[in-house]
Amino acid sequence: MTHSHFSEFYKKTKVERIKALLDARVIQIEDALLLFENSQLTDQLANHMIENQLTQYSLPLGVALHFLIDNQTYQVPMVTEEPSVIAAASAAAKVIAQAGGFKTHLSERKMIGQVALKDIPDLAHALEELSLNKEIILKKANNAHPSIVKRGGGADEVEFRTIPATEHSPTFLVVHVHIDVLEAMGANIVNTMMEAIASYIETLTDGKVLMSILSNYATECLATATCQIPLSLLERGDYLGEEVRDAMIEASQFAYVDPYRATTHNKGIMNGIDAVVLASGNDWRAIEAGAHAYAARSGQYRSLSIWEKADNGDLKGSLTLPLPVGFVGGSIGIHPTAQFSQRLLSLKSAKELESVIVSVGLAQNFAALRALVTEGIQKGHMGLQAKSLAISAGASGNEIEHVANELKKQTHMNLETAISILDTIKN
Ligand code: NDP
């Protein structure tokens, strides 16, 4: 890949973009044809994926550029309906690449399965029995899914939690099993194992099993991305690098202490994360649920990322969240566009996908905070919003760009103005 292939990528036509990816050897000819075709799922596949299928719902897939992650360059597939997301991610990644790129750190990839019990007659005795029989619990769990054990994964740790009774709930005893799901997201693997151990756990505790299922609060599958940006790369218009750094740090502190801001701050991070999770064929609700639970781990909902001053005065950013995404399993293997996304990323493992996703989240956050503390978020947004308005007004082909450019010059950008601009152009 050379940068020349991608210069002013956003100004190219779709055909030119696909050609640029081909010329840069990021994609092969078969994938170029797939992109030209704009193909939907086959009816048979769509009908097989969900119940009561009627039609398909399309969203655009684009590519974010300039990502340098752990010294490797990535062209990142993103599926989103929000106009500014890919532009913001690419712009941020370009700055961060000049600063050495993202570095990532990943924990083990373990999922947690829960068996929740109630009506335990003797809690101390139940806990003792569970402790004494941990190995049997693990063996029963692994026997329920021997193929994951054969591959080198499986259940390997058991923990217990008691949740005291409140005025609204009884005492719960919860058995947690940690399971290495290797390259899968693991929901089905974990659920199978949990259901298989439920009756044995009931026998051990004399309690009643309420449910057996994985937890989407995947605290044993965390991904962190960091970056460090010198002041010279933070200068923007009339703003000095130092001013941008200090304001971004304050914006980060604000999001840490104020849940109203933290929610929007994290929504911006999820703009990037969801888009890649979706493109990769993974379960974005699982990632959303885990991310927001992690943001509230201190008891207060807080920002997922932190921006601070490095010892040498640079701006230092870091983002951590649970990222139990799969490289296999679910619909990944059967969805042709998810397969394309893996090829576009030259992806080799679920861990590598985690590194890409968490880096995109940090890039998105950098772009949003930098815009917020400098020119404001609307300038960039409205530029892209103008195109959407032009299309809504009925513009097509070259008219879209023309109407959008005229719209950007107006004080009030709305559909009515877009329609009247289009009328002027046409008449
Ligand atoms: P699958 O049920 O598709 O399981 C993945 C399978 O891939 C494994 O059973 C394994 O089968 C096979 N496999 C092949 N190679 C590997 C490898 N290297 N590492 C691991 N597995 C491998 O998917 P998951 O269990 O991952 O579950 C994900 C799906 O579950 C998603 O669609 C999700 O939406 C859904 N789901 C989510 C829930 C939640 O989040 N709460 C709840 C229920 C479902 P084998 O070893 O036998 O070949």
The verdict on ipTM greater than 0.90 is yes
Encoding tokens for residue 410? 């107006």
Nearest to 102 by CA among 366, 395, 399, 409: 366
pLDDT digits (tens, 9 = 90+) for 175-191: 999 999 999 999 999 99
Confidence band, pLDDT 50/70/90 cuts, at residue 379: low
Residue nearest (by alpha carbon) to ligand 1 atom 27: 187
Query: Ligand 1 mean position to 181 CA, how many Å?
Result: 8
Nearest to 231 by CA among 304, 315, 161, 164: 315
Residue nearest (by alpha carbon) to ligand 1 atom 45: 147
Q: In a mutational test of the pocket of ligand 1, which residue from 112, 183, 188 has the highest number of ligand atoms less than 8 Å from its CB?
A: 188
pLDDT digits (tens, 9 = 90+) for 393-414: 899 888 888 888 888 888 778 8
Mean pLDDT (the chain) is: 95
Query: Ligand 1 mean position to 131 CA, how many Å?
Result: 29
Query: Ligand 1 mean position to 75 CA, how many Å?
Result: 26
For residues 362 and 304, is the Cβ–Cβ distance under 8 A? no
- Catalytic residue numbers read 82, 267, 283, 381
pLDDT digits (tens, 9 = 90+) for 334-377: 999 999 999 999 999 999 999 999 999 999 999 999 999 997 76
Residue nearest (by alpha carbon) to ligand 1 atom 9: 189
**Mean pLDDT throughout 201-220?**
98
pTM above 0.95, yes or no: no
Residue nearest (by alpha carbon) to ligand 1 atom 37: 187
